[in-house]
Structure 1
């Protein structure tokens, strides 16, 4: 087995992990948006966990937009974070797969 083949396999496996992490992060953010829009019970432990995780993941984009409606701020702020994580994660993984 050539060194190039071993490096490629490692890169492909690393790319898969990056894609999975990016997808999970985007899923958590999307799940919080859905829970918010459906007015999920915030006293529920699972809802609180998802909210806390989403708040941490979208810390950089939380309240980035100043729409008058709270639902629009949640969708824009958390949605932007989800899209960025998907785009960056999949772009990095694609780049790794090429090598």
Structure 2
């Protein structure tokens, strides 16, 4: 599950850099999901350049989901 969440966030960052059409339903869905998932980390730091804000704000959430998710999965697997 953590991989899916991190993938969704990473996909939005990729779509942002590719300047995807935000009027498209799929792009809008990915953006909304990533924004919801990264809501806690997006404004943690502020930067002057928008692209840095997107990478850092969403990237922190993606890395956190991966690390925490894999730590939990590793603990559960050992039992």
TM over 0.5: yes
**How many residue pairs get matched?**
79
Determine the C-alpha separation between the residues in 1 that align with 2:4 and 2:65: 10
Identify unmatched segments of 5+ residues in structure 2.
Answer: none
Measured against aligned partners, the alpha-carbon deviations of 1:17-76 in whole angstroms (never above 9, x if no partner) come to: xxxx00000000000000111111100000000000000000101122211100000000
Note the aligned Cα RMSD (angstroms): 0.6
**Of the two, which has the highest radius of gyration?**
1
Identify unmatched segments of 5+ residues in structure 1.
Answer: 1-20
Determine the C-alpha separation between the residues in 2 that align with 1:23 and 1:44: 24
Aligned to 1:34: 14
Q: Does 1:84 align with 2:59?
A: no
Determine the C-alpha separation between the residues in 2 that align with 1:88 and 1:71: 25
Determine the C-alpha separation between the residues in 2 that align with 1:85 and 1:66: 21
More helix by share: 1
Say which of 45, 68, 75 aligns to 2:55.
Answer: 75
